[in-house]
Chain A
Amino acid sequence: MAVFIQRVSNKKIAASIIIGLIISCVGLPGLSFSTAPDVLALIIFYWAMLGGDNRPRLGTVFLLGLIVDFLGGQIIGLHALKYLFLVAVAVKFDNRFRMSARLNRVAFVIATFVALEAILYGLVASYVGAFMDINQLVMVAAWCITWPFLEFIIEKNYARVDK
């Protein structure tokens, strides 16, 4: 049911974001950039939704977006815009998101990511005179299904395991 994170350490947020940044920039083995998941976007969205007061700031996500764009050789500002919108959506719906069931959360994540992808990349594609790649939307939706797995990994108390 409700997920209220009692204590979130900044170290954990930073570590997960760095890992996400590395994966988003370097990619995953066996997957091209178009089919690989935007792990950093998922992590930012997670912390923006469930991080409470420790959610990533707009300046931080903007900077992260620029880094991804520059290192990935993509259109500069696109990822920054995407991450900014994700945080904006999170700020608007975080309470309702935390109170909803897991399945509803997954559905909301899929809807958000697919809508953002369609809007941003659709606009760019139309601007350059190309067609929006539907497969990319399908891949985005498919990767969003892993949201419960991401929640499980990030929610896990690793400090307790170490002891």
Chain B
Amino acid sequence: MPLASNTIKGDRLRFYIKLLVYSTIALSLVFLDLKQHTFAPVKEKLSSLEVVVNESFRPLKDWLEDFSSHFASNVELVRENEELKNAQIYSEVRLQKLASIERRLEELQSLLKLRNQSPNGMHAVTVIAASNSPYDQWLRVQFTREAPIKPGDYLVETKGLVGQVISVEDAQAFVRLVSDQRASVHVQVLRTGFRAVLFGRGKYNSLELKFVPEEVDIKVDDILVTTGMGGRHPYGIPVGKVISVDPDRTSTFSRIIVQSLASPSSTNSFIALTGPIGDDLYPLDKSK
């Protein structure tokens, strides 16, 4: 123990002596430099060397500066881009919302115009549910309790016939769309006046005019309207437009596919025809 202790003490003493010596030299150098300017010539010569050294490191420093500024500007750009993207998404959402409101407003305006033609025979209904099944085409609509909506009434929108009320419960009605497989409408070709029965095909907006002999004059783009026969609905409600006429090789009838004019999937409000309505509900142009 005493030996080790003496060694440590000796090391410490040596260290402090060295520190004292070096510190003295350093202080002397500081004094000489400040008071006598002894190192001024050396410094001047070295300053040129320093310039050379700095110049040799200049490309590295420049590169570092460029890199840092490039990185900083990139970060700035990314942040700005992110902010702009968020703003754009927000604007797009607002724009779509506005467009939707505008469409809804137009739809309601046109429905109101339609309803004004016969306020007593027509009542507004609103969709509360729709079929999710591809095999069933139906809607559940709600109406005011005062509205005398009953099974058998037809549902229309500004473009044409939508479907028929099948059952009524409280202030709700179950409506079968014209495109349902079980639906059928007595229609007339607007151009020629030919009458036939239009059946739903169980597909969205797709109908078929059945049992039409091949020799009957029916062309693509012909408009089909309700006949008004039977007194359940007026004459002239547009139902569909012929999109294809093909001869059926297995029979003497043509295979006529019709596209429904109404688009119940994108509309929320309809009009139920509940009473006697004139035949001039829809302005028809027979030349079309």
Chain A residues proximal to chain B, CB less than 8 Å: 22, 25-27, 29-30, 58-59, 62, 65-66, 70-73, 75-78, 80-81, 84-85, 87-88, 91, 124, 127-128
Contacts and interface: CB of A to CB of B under 8 A. Distances in A.
B231 to A, nearest CB: 91
Interface of B: 15, 18-19, 22-23, 25-30, 32-34, 39, 42-43, 46-47, 49-50, 53-54, 57, 61-62, 64-65, 68
A75 B33 contact: yes
A29 B33 contact: no
Contacts of A124: 30, 34
A127 to B, nearest CB: 6
B176 to A, nearest CB: 74
Nearest to B35: A127
Mostly helix, strand, loop or mixed at chain A's interface? helix
The 5 A-B residue pairs whose C-beta atoms are closest, nearest first, are A77-B29, A81-B26, A77-B30, A77-B26, A76-B33
Contact of B34 (A80, A81, A127): A127
A32 to B, nearest CB: 13
A73 B50 contact: yes
Contacts of A77: 25-30, 33
B66 to A, nearest CB: 9
Given A26-B57, A62-B26, 17 more contacts: A22-B57, A26-B53, A26-B61, A29-B61, A58-B15, A58-B18, A58-B19, A59-B22, A65-B26, A75-B33, A75-B34, A76-B29, A76-B33, A76-B43, A77-B29, A80-B25, A88-B19
A124 B31 CA distance: 10
A70 B42 contact: yes
A94 B49 CA distance: 37
A88 B10 CA distance: 16
A80 B33 contact: no
Nearest to A25: B53
21 contacts: A25-B50, A26-B57, A26-B61, A27-B61, A29-B62, A62-B26, A70-B39, A71-B46, A73-B47, A75-B33, A75-B34, A76-B32, A76-B39, A77-B25, A77-B30, A77-B33, A81-B26, A84-B22, A84-B23, A87-B19, A127-B34
Contacts of B65: 29-30
Contacts of A127: 34
A29 B53 CA distance: 15
Contacts of B15: 58, 91
B178 to A, nearest CB: 74
B46 A62 contact: no
Interface centre among B26, B28, B62 (most CB of A within 10 A): B26
A78 to B, nearest CB: 6
A75 to B, nearest CB: 5
